[in-house]
Chains A and B, each alone.
Chain A
């Protein structure tokens, strides 16, 4: 079987599950479809021979962030929130925003014209952990370290917000 067939299959699945995220009425179903979308995207990473990205995508998005999403949504009383939580105005605004983002993305991709790599000089191990690590710690060291500082600030901030002060109630 040709690799491109896998690609068509995966892309179709990705689009379908991404659509279902938007279309399903139950927020829990939406979150689960979103998790499935992440899996499809991980499949794309495998096709691009970027296994590290695939694993990290699953660990970080499917394994941690979406669990927290699910966690929060499960706390809601869904029956109370379902009808009429979206007015026509919000629906209209959402459509306009999403449509303009789509137009911008399509235009951007059309102008960039990402070049197809040359088969003779292309290194198939580009996406492997070793190469990624070397690039991150040599060429992009400063942005990488800045991102860690950003994460650290976010962590300290959340600890500060979550901390109970003397005299506060327990919950």
Chain B
């Protein structure tokens, strides 16, 4: 019973640490979002609370907790409370299967830096992502406000539409690794064989879908304030609103980690072997965990960068892009990947497929433009 117990303790510690990191990153994402926005718009941003405004998330949290927690009289009370809870729950559950690092040995116990290594890891991520919409949908309906309802309905149809393209872009990855386990997918990418070189198109499809699933600009139609006041959280105040916003930042970080796992080699970094030889396996694995978190943070930055650069889509444009743009593209990607694997030249096939696609788009564009002029 003894080894099981120590392993259990180790896993419990990992889960706690992952929780702490996720929540901390999410809290500081709010600060960095405002700092980055300020930088892009040539402002200063928050700088009052502590040096460089570094205590701003704490101040915001205190503000959120102190505000009046209001439940509208016509709202469905329990579902109104359940909405933000479900959002937080689904946002936090995905990180269970992300491999944060290789095997480490601490105090004589050898374990993986991963919550659970199941043989359906990717499907787990996918399932939780598809559940993520419930929080928004329930909160939007329970508010008994037509703008909130419209926001919730927009979120639901958007998530369902983009899940398909996301799943199809993951299929191309699965064709390489031959396994649904996230650990195996990462192990297949060690020593610089990152999937991004094999799957440039798949990555673009995946990141666009990730933007849509996280309800981030340019796809933040569910909370489009020019049309819907505040969207699904119009009626929310105090920490319930805080949980909705917090869940969004957690989703960003986790989807960044998933992208790093699937396309950027997970915890792999240049010079892994060298560090492992010099310092031993355990420090190398911990640096790997740091590398994975660094990659995820880079993607969080990309999310913010895009938010303060691009305007919002119109809703019919969003649906058009999802159904007539991304789904055929991802089927094309699966075909190209199949050709690459059969011909034994996956890198060349991947890049050639990408170039062919862009050439085809340019030619098509030129032809239609000439027709329009003539």
Contact = CB atoms under 8 A, between A and B. Distances in A.
Given A70-B137, A71-B137, A74-B141, A52 B131 contact: no
Contact of B119 (A68, A71, A129): A129
Interface in A38-85: 51-52, 54-56, 58-59, 62-64, 67-68, 70-71, 74-75
Q: Is the interface of B mostly helix, strand, loop or mixed?
A: helix
Interface in B141-191: 141, 149, 152-153, 156-157, 159-160, 163, 180
B131 A58 contact: yes
A21 interface: no
A67 B134 contact: yes
A101 B130 CA distance: 32
B156 A55 contact: no
A28 B139 CA distance: 12
Nearest to A35: B134
Interface stretch (B6-14, B46-54, B121-129, B336-344): B121-129
A18 interface: no
A67 B157 CA distance: 9
A171 B180 CA distance: 42
B138 interface: yes
Interface residues of B, number: 26
A16 interface: no
A82 to B, nearest CB: 14
Q: Is the interface of A mostly helix, strand, loop or mixed?
A: helix
Most buried by A among B76, B118, B131, B149: B131
A54 B141 CA distance: 28
Given A63-B163, A64-B163, A71-B153, A55 B137 contact: no
A98 interface: no
Contacts of B131: 58, 62-63
Contact of A64 (B130, B153, B180): B130
List the 9 closest A-B pairs by CB distance, nearest first: A63-B130, A55-B123, A58-B127, A59-B127, A55-B120, A51-B120, A74-B141, A71-B156, A55-B127
Given A28-B76, A51-B119, A62-B131, 18 more contacts: A28-B79, A54-B120, A55-B123, A56-B123, A58-B130, A63-B129, A67-B160, A70-B156, A71-B137, A71-B156, A71-B157, A74-B137, A74-B141, A74-B152, A75-B153, A128-B119, A129-B119, A129-B120
